[in-house]
Amino acid sequence: MSNKIIHWFKYGSPQSFYPLAGKMIPWFWALAAIFCVAGLWIGFFVAPTDATQGEAYRIIFIHVPASWMSMFLYIVMACWAGIGLSLNTRLSSMMASAIAPTGAMFAFLSLWTGALWGKPMWGTWWVWDARLTSELILLFLYLGFMALQAAIDEPRRADKAGAILALVGVVNVPIIYFSVKWWNTLHQGASISMSKAPTMAITMLWGMLVMALAFWMYSIAVALQRARAIMLERERHTDWVKYAVE
């Protein structure tokens, strides 16, 4: 056992990564389910009712982890795309394209739950709050990435063009965030701010962290599954795919 060396780079090729991903997916699904149940249980039964916001605040257990994940996934996607561009590895680019729809889904989920939260709290579905606005722009960036990849037929060119767009986007995300924040503070000085909320109960924080873990595991499981599908599609002319499908 001790002198058995694992050649990690072996898993850089779709042929050997495909079965490995297949083995890992059920575990990540299971972890996602466990964390999700635990997080929702903390969120609904353990966390106390908020003094000012009542029961409606409980949507943050979905809303906050979803927006965390949407931002985090964009960085992960850009990292994979950058690795794919610089090292010319096929699998990295496939991972980048596999992550994009999940990231866009989380960005959308975050906006949706933000609107649902805003209605009882602020009386409107939409507020031009700095965070909501930058989340919306993040969704646009995801959509641009996916649209560009979908428009180019040749997979290698799609990978590379998408990688450059993702890298340009990742440089721009902080610039956009701070410009939107500044714009927001200039235009509505004394508006409602989520960051001014009273100190959070520790159980609320735990609920959000556990839900974030659940979303994380879910993202890995879904991204791997999507990557497996992309591998089969792109390598359909090779022998290993024929064996794998049989």
Contacts with another protein, residue ranges (CB under 8 A): 137, 140-141, 143-144, 147-148, 151-153, 156-157, 160-161, 164-165, 167-169, 171-172, 175-176, 179-180, 182-183, 186
Q: Which of 230, 103, 70, 84 is nearest to 161 (CA)?
A: 84
Q: Considering the complex, what minimum distance in angstroms separates the CB of residue 102 from another protein?
A: 19
Q: Considering the complex, what minimum distance in angstroms separates the CB of residue 13 from another protein?
A: 22
Q: Considering the complex, what minimum distance in angstroms separates the CB of residue 148 from another protein?
A: 6
Separation CA 73–CA 184 (nearest Å): 25
Q: Considering the complex, what minimum distance in angstroms separates the CB of residue 218 from another protein?
A: 26
Q: Considering the complex, what minimum distance in angstroms separates the CB of residue 234 from another protein?
A: 17
Q: Which of 41, 24, 78, 97 is nearest to 214 (CA)?
A: 41
Separation CA 106–CA 79 (nearest Å): 18
Q: Which is nearer to another protein, 67 or 215 (CB)?
A: 67
Q: Considering the complex, what minimum distance in angstroms separates the CB of residue 220 from another protein?
A: 27
Q: Which is nearer to another protein, 168 or 205 (CB)?
A: 168
First to last CA, the chain: 32
Q: Which is nearer to another protein, 65 or 134 (CB)?
A: 134
Contact 245, 232 (CB under 8 A): yes
Separation CA 242–CA 246 (nearest Å): 6
Q: Which is nearer to another protein, 48 or 189 (CB)?
A: 189
Q: Which is nearer to another protein, 6 or 190 (CB)?
A: 190
What is the tally of helices (H) and strands (E) in the chain? 7, 0
Residue type, 210: V
Identify the residue whose tokens are 């009386």: 123
Contact 38, 210 (CB under 8 A): yes
Q: Which is nearer to another protein, 122 or 183 (CB)?
A: 183
